[in-house]
Amino acid sequence: MHAYYYDNVSADQRLPHDSGLPVELDYLRKLGLTLSTVPLDTEGGWEPLVDKIANEHGWDNRDTMDVTKEGLGDHFEQMLDKFFTEHMHNDAEIRYILSGSGYWDIREYPTDQWIRVRVLPGDFIIIPAGIYHRFTLDEHNQVKALRFTTGELQYSSTARGSETDASPFRDQYLDSIKEVTVGA
């Protein structure tokens, strides 16, 4: 996994859009992300390690998101548009990449710059509730990821706008990064 500032060039979202300015993963952690890698070829298998992380966090539910043309059928383009529309969630977005690759774009606060995070198989990413972000596939056009939740599995997102700006989940997020952004 690695990250860099997005170049803001208007071209296919699936291209790297690398501005050449790298971003440290520790900086993204300060912005509230949890980032780690559990290699798929870990000795003894990745499953016990991933199970342990899930248990520690109390995630009692999981499923596989198959973000491929075959997996999503007629909804493929529609779902991709939805993922790439800037949004936030009221719950954390927790994903473990099983195959394929893609990019999450994370909004830096308060600059509103996009930071692009490249994900590959074995990458584990937790995007906190209330942070603005979007997701795209790359040119290979496929990703399969485990999705974890506590309680019921359901997908709900809200596009950035006056409603999300006023959301208590957004407030909580901004509060959680105050230490980092004060004086920024």
Of the pair 25, 79, the CB lying nearest ligand KMT is at 79
| Interaction site with ligand KMT (CB under 6 A) | 65, 67, 83, 93, 95, 135, 143, 145, 157
Select the residue whose beta carbon is closest to ligand KMT and give its number.
135
Size of the site for Ni ion (CB under 5 A): 1
Site string for Ni ion, 74-93 (x = CB under 5 A): -------------------x
Q: Which two tokens stand for residue 175?
A: 């509060």
CB 58 within 8 A of CB 132: no
Select the residue whose beta carbon is closest to Ni ion and give its number.
93
Q: How far is the CB of 149 from ligand KMT (least distance, A)?
A: 12
Q: How far is the CB of 172 from ligand KMT (least distance, A)?
A: 18
N- to C-terminal Cα distance for the chain?
Answer: 26
Q: How far is the CB of 143 from ligand KMT (least distance, A)?
A: 5
Closest CA to 85 of 29, 18, 179, 164: 164
Provide DSSP, 41-52: T-TT-HHHHHHH
In angstroms, the Cα distances linking 69 to 11, 73, 104, 176 are 22, 5, 19, 37
Q: How far is the CB of 133 from Ni ion (least distance, A)?
A: 6
Distance (Å, rounded) from C-alpha 115 to C-alpha 119? 13
Of the pair 21, 150, the CB lying nearest ligand KMT is at 150
Of the pair 93, 123, the CB lying nearest Ni ion is at 93
For 24, counting Cβ atoms within 10 Å of its Cβ (0-12 exposed, 13-18 middle, 19+ buried), the class is exposed
Distance of CA 130 to the CA centre of its chain: 12
Of the pair 5, 134, the CB lying nearest ligand KMT is at 134
Q: How far is the CB of 167 from ligand KMT (least distance, A)?
A: 16
Which residues would be at the binding site for Ni ion (CB under 5 A)?
Answer: 93
